[in-house]
Structures are given as C-alpha cells and as structure tokens.
Structure 1
Amino acid sequence: MVHGLVIGKFYPPHAGHHHLIDAAARACDEVTVVVAPSTVESIPLEDRVAWLREVHARSPHVRFVGIYDDTPIDYGSEAAWDAHTATFRTAVGARRVDRVFSSEAYGEELARRFGAVHVPVDPGRGAVPVSGTAVRADPVAHWGMLAPPVRAWFVRRVVVVGAESTGTTTLTRALAAHLRLRGGVFAGTCWVEEYGRTLTSLKMAGLAPGQTMEDLVWTREDFVAVAREQNAAEDAAARSGGPILLCDTDSFATSVWEERYLGNASSAVRDTARRPALYLLTSDEGVPFEDDGMRDGEHLRAWMTGRFRDELAARGVPWIELTGSYRDRLTRAVKAIDDLLAAGWNLASPLLPADANRIVGGSC
C-alpha cells in the first residue's frame, strides 16, 4: 500500500490544488490531504475541508484532515520546520508516508522529514496557471479555476426587495441581463425568482370559485416554507453562476411579509435570514400600481416600503434605496454593483515565509 501526502493551505481550493490531489490519487493506494491554514485567514477551515471532500468525492481513497498551523514560516529555521512537521504528523496519524506530492519549493525538504520520496507536480504552474495568491487578489479573473462550492462562497449576493408593484422583479431581471452582456464570467449571471409568488399561485389554485386573494389563509408554516425554499434556490444558483447573484427577495424579506399577514415575524423565519453583500430597496414613490390578481393593494405599499427601510437600517446591512425613473434606478443599481466588485473581497493575508529562498536541506 503506497500512502501519499499532500499538504497545503488551500486558501482557497482551486484547479491547481485539484490537479495536485488528482495526481497523488492516481499514483497511490491511499492519500492524506492535510489542510493546514493559520487562524488569521478569512476562509473557515471547515469550509475548505468540506469543499475538497465534495470535489474529490469520487476518490474514496483520498481523505482530508484539517488542522490549524500558526507556527511562523521560516524555511531557514530548524525549530520552525520541526514545529510544522509535528503539526502535519498529528494530522496524518500513525500512517507511514511513502510519497509527498507538492508544487512548492519546500516539497523536497518536507518529504525528507517524512522519510518519503518527493513527487513534484507542475511546479512551474504550466499545466494549471493559477495560485491561491492570484485568486485572493482577483477572484473574478480566476472564476473558471474555482469549483462550484468555492464559487458559492465568493459570489456577491445582491438582493432586490420592496413593496408590491415597485419593480423588484423587473429590476432583478434587467440587472442580470445587463451583467450577462458583459460576457466572460458574467455571461452566466443568474437571478433567483421569488418563491412566495409560486406558493401564492399554488394556494390560489385551491380556492373555490368566486374566492380571491383576500380569502387565502396564511400560516407560520407557509412562511417557514417560503424562507427555506428561497434560501435553497439562492444557494443552488450561487454554485452555477458568475461573481454576482441577483435575488428577487430573500428570507429576510419573507419575515417582513410574515409581519404584514400575521401581525409579527416569527423567530423561525427571522433565523433563516442571511447577510448578503447588498440590498436594493425599490421605493413605491412614482411607480404606478399594477394589480396582476396576486397583490394586496396600492394602499399598503407605502407602509411596506417604510417597514423595509426600518428593518434594513436595524440590521446594519449594506443597502440603498432606489428612487426616480426606471432608468435612474437601473443606473444607480448598476453603479452600486460595480462599486461592490471594485471593493474586492479583502481576504486576510496568510502567514508568509520569512525567506522563501532558503530551504533547509534542499536545493529548491
């Protein structure tokens, strides 16, 4: 039984990491992948391990172990090497290591300390030209190098909320279409529909002849179902689209609608609320009311807009209110999204080597 070892931060996991792990999986009977970030990094360790397990689920002989390693990196220090190696040995356990697979200069020395053979894999990044540093600096430019679960973590979720007939769906669709026209990774921009309208349609289909929207009976369970389905649809779309995900309402908005129909919002619904990158609130002012047979009435719009303002302010989330003409609203929304992208992801820097050119006992 040949046991291979792969060690890295996987900050975040990308196509180069998967190439490295696949190479080890093909060459060994079993492989241990040690995910060893420092605690200063921004992406949780458990997320990285889960993502790697999902991507490599078809290689059951590859196991993933997460462990934090806050020892300063100094390739010229025996004490630092000893501490790092001890951490990695704890993660590996009692298994003997036969081969160490690495794309890094320190691979030779790491293998020596495990009494194993070093197997370099694409050290020049020719086969898969990507690095964790490059991804952190510009996730959008390297979007194609990220697996679906990693994309879902990086995607910027922009949620459009507002009272009835204030253009939330129209704006969400328009923003998605605008981004798709940019091409590249934005060509796959997704938008998530409002599940509440779907459930309303289903409930209306069960009404007796002559009954209307006013005859619908709403329960706490209905709003929990809406919030749950909305979150599930959002999460699915986040895995398959581009860097921006547009959402026509979300589980937070569901709590506001629950208040409108049942008098207050339940903790069961409030607890499902996420924290997206940006909320866009569509004002009711200056927007003609259109009754499509599934709306309460124009008289409620100002109250709902006010409730959204109050709740968004209380949550302390990023949000802007869109007023004016349709073109004004679209223009301001596009600028807000561009500002969001320009701000970047601001991931914390990992612990960096004191001197990357000094490798104890090695020639790399």
Structure 2
Amino acid sequence: MQSSAPLKAFVFGKFMPFHKGHEQLINFARQHCDHLTVLLCVSDQEALPAEVRQAWLRETYAGQPDVEIQVLEYLESELPNTSETSLAVSEVWADVFSRLLPECRLVITSEPYGELVAARMGIRYLLFDEARGIVPVSASAIRRNPAAHWQFLPASVKPYYVRKVVILGAESTGKTVLANQLAAHFHASLVAEAGRDLIASSDSFSLADLHAVAQEHARRIRQAQTGSSPLLIIDTDVHITLSYAQLMFGQELPVPPEIYALNRADLYLYLSPDVPFVQDGTRLSATDRLRLDASHRATLRRYNVPVVEISGSWEVRLQQAIRQVEVLLRTTLPGR
C-alpha cells in the first residue's frame, strides 16, 4: 500500500519585524502539515532589508528540516502592497503564490483575506488567532516602539533593536561604577568588563591574554543583547583592548569582523581622567593612566568612534551620563 504524499503548506508575511505572534502562527502551521514554507514578502519601498528579516527566521528555525524560508522580493508598482482584505488584491497575490508554490495544498494566516487566497488557489485554508488573543501585539506597534514591546521579540530579533551604551576611559576613571549606576537607573542589562576577570594586573599580560579578553567580552555582549532589557550598558569595549595592544606591545591586535560588529554601540561615553587616581594593586601608575588616556583616544580616532566626554565629580558624571542615555532613548535610530 502506497503512503500518501507529504502535505505541503505555507504562511506568508512581511515579518517587519518577526515577532512571537508570527512564531505562534508558524508553530501552529507546522502541526498541520509535513513541510512548511515561510514566504517572506519584501517590497522595494521597505527600509528593513530582506536579508535581515530572512536571518531572523533562519536563526529561529535552524535545524528544523520541515521549515523552509523563501524570499519574494517585489515591486510595489507591479504588486499591491496592502494588508486590507480585498477580493481583487487577494486574487492577484494568490496567482503569484500559485506560481511560486505549486505543490502547497494548505495556507494558514491570521487574516481574513487568507480564505480568499485559498479559494483562488483551490487549496485548503486554516485561520489562526485572528483576534491576536494569544500574542497581543502587531508588527506596526513594535516598529513604533520596540522597547515597549520587548517581551514579544524572539531572541533572533532583539540584537537588531537593542540600544548599546559603552563606557570608556583610562584606568581609575570610574567606568565600572558608572556602568553599574546606569544599569540600575535604567533597569538595563549590564556587560561587565572581561579584562578585570581575565587579567590580574595591568602590568603583566600577553597578546594572547588580550585575544582572550576580546573573545570573552564579545561572548558577554552576545548573551546580554538577547536579555530582558532593550538597553545594554557595556563596561569598556574592544577599542580599549586594541589600545592596550598598541601601547604595551606596539602591535595591532587582529579582531575578527564579527567580534568588532558585536562591540558596535549607539552611544560611547568617554570618562576624563580628571578624578583622583586610586591604586588598587592591579592598575598601572598614575602617570601611565595619562599615557593610557592618550592611547585610548588615538585608537578611538583611528576607528572613527564618536565619543561624548564625561567629566567632573562623580555625581556630575552620573547626571551627565543619564542625560546622554535619555537623549539616545528618545532618538529614532536609522532602520530601527
């Protein structure tokens, strides 16, 4: 007796951005077919790149052979770009889907136009949670304010929308204290400085140690940017590691592009060395602090990193930093 052919189905959408409501839809669809195509529809007029949205889906469903991610890039001058329920629009899109996915016998959507699409294609239709009761959010609401809907973003999407603030400066300028204060004030996630944990003393380390610091710090950022907060406070970054390599060894430390990309931030606060120097037994001398400061600034200029200078007393520094972060949080960043 021959077994029946596997049932192929599809869901479609813009996934701009992909959120947990989409995830619920896809998981529901998987329960009703043997193979699911997730069709990502990308207009030429949309700012959010296709490759970014595709990466979100691929990461979420990596290792799931029953899920296939397919991209349809189209011109709005040729295909209607609307989510309104319309027989004419549904039939236009149904004809496109029939050409792209001729083997699919089932379509699943959360929109009433899905039934019109299925009827035109001559296939089955399933409606999923049209009222958005399971995951009460929409992509448009997330686009307006990602931070307010952070809990509805999958781990694959959060790094795109997280705001990163890096605290920089020479030794004994209060980086760790300020990073902790900002994280507490804004209820943000915190990335602690890896160098303090991996290198016991600033006057005794190797290039291999600096490589390890860069790797570990990037790992911490990668983990923290998918956490519970849309704001990430980072105590120092890879530029400081690069500066130490240049100052202490006269060498450029090779940093893989993916590690450098993880360290890229939206705001860099640089702490001036205008506070009393405190020797805790692990630091260079007060004179070397000034050499470090010059080296750090030169490195940041070399990498075209824009910094905001923070100076004055400890309380003044905190208030300056808070104001800068507040400005960042009120700013709509390009593409986000």
* Shorter-chain TM-score tier: 0.7 to 0.9
Q: Give the match's secondary structure for 1:296.
A: coil
Q: 1:192-341 counterparts in 2 under 5 A?
A: 192-201=191-200, 214=203, 216-219=204-207, 221-268=208-255, 272-274=259-261, 275-285=264-274, 287-341=275-329
Aligned to 1:27: 32
Question: CA separation in 1, counterparts of 2:218 and 2:245?
Answer: 16
Alpha-carbon distance between aligned partners in 1 of 2:193 and 2:297, rounded to the nearest angstrom: 20
Contact 2:9 2:104 in 1 (8 A): yes
What are the superposed Cα offsets for residues 245-280 of structure 1, whole Å, 9 maximum, x if unpaired? 011111122111211111242344788433211111
SS at 1:198 equivalent: helix
| Alpha-carbon shift at residue 55 of structure 1 (Å) | 3.1
Residue of structure 1 in register with 2:96 after alignment: 86
Displacement of 1:230 in angstroms is 1.2
Deviations 1:100-122 (A, max 9, x none): 11123432333234322232222
Question: Residue 170 of structure 1: which of 157, 177, 191 is its match?
Answer: 177
Q: Which amino acid aligns with 1:177?
A: A
Question: How far apart are 1:179 and its partner, in Å?
Answer: 1.4
- Structure 2, gaps ≥5 residues long: 1-5
One-letter amino acid matched to 1:86: V
Q: Which residue of 2 aligns with 1:191?
A: 190
- Secondary structure at 2:166's aligned position in 1? strand
User: Which residue matches 2:130?
Assistant: 123
Question: What's the CA shift for 1:3?
Answer: 1.8
Distance (whole Å) between structure 2 residues aligned to residue 55 and residue 84 of structure 1: 27
Amino acid at match of 2:199: T
* Aligned with 2:149 (options 142, 165, 175): 142
In 2, the alpha carbon distance for the partners of 1:161 and 1:146 equals: 30
Structure 1's 269 and 123: CA in aligned 2 closer, same or farther, altered over 3 A? closer
8 Å CA contact 2:166–2:265 kept in 1: the answer is yes
* Counterpart check, 1:98 vs 2:105: yes
- In structure 2, do the counterparts of structure 1 residues 228 and 39 end up closer, same or farther at CA, with 3 Å as the change threshold? farther
Q: Is the 8 A contact 2:267 2:307 kept in 1?
A: yes
**2:12 aligned with 1:7:** yes
Identity of aligned residues (%): 34
SS at match of 1:37: strand
Task: Kindly state the Cα deviation for residue 242 of structure 1 after the two structures are TM-superposed.
Answer: 0.4
Deviations 1:277-322 (A, max 9, x none): 111111101x111112211111122233233334434544442010
In 1, are the aligned partners of 2:93 and 2:117 still within 8 Å (CA)?
A: no
Unaligned runs of 5+ in 1: 181-188, 205-212, 349-364
Aligned length: 324
Shift of 1:161: 0.9
| Structure with higher RCO (Cα < 8 A, 6+ apart) | 1
In structure 2, the CA distance between the partners of 1:38 and 1:312, relative to structure 1 (3 Å rule), is: farther
Larger deviation, residues 44-53 vs 294-303: 44-53
SS of the residue 1:28 aligns to: coil
- CA offsets per residue over residues 197-220 of structure 1, 9 Å max, x none? 22212xx6xxxxxxxx64x2522x
Q: Deviations along 1:81-101, whole A, 9 cap, x unmatched? A: 6578537743x4x5x111111
Corresponding residue for residue 68 of structure 1: 73
One-letter code of the match for 2:32? A
Q: Is the 8 A contact 1:162 1:283 kept in 2?
A: yes
Please give the alpha-carbon distance, in whole angstroms, between the structure 2 residues aligned to 1:70 and 1:98. Answer: 26
- Alpha-carbon distance between aligned partners in 2 of 1:5 and 1:223, rounded to the nearest angstrom: 48
Would you say the 8 A contact 2:94–2:120 is kept in 1?
no
Calculate the aligned-residue CA RMSD, in Å: 2.7
SS at structure 1 position matched to 2:308: strand
Distance 1:113 1:255 in 2: 60
Change (3 A) 1:269 1:167: farther
Task: Quote the Cα distance in structure 2 between the aligned partners of 1:258 and 1:269.
Answer: 15
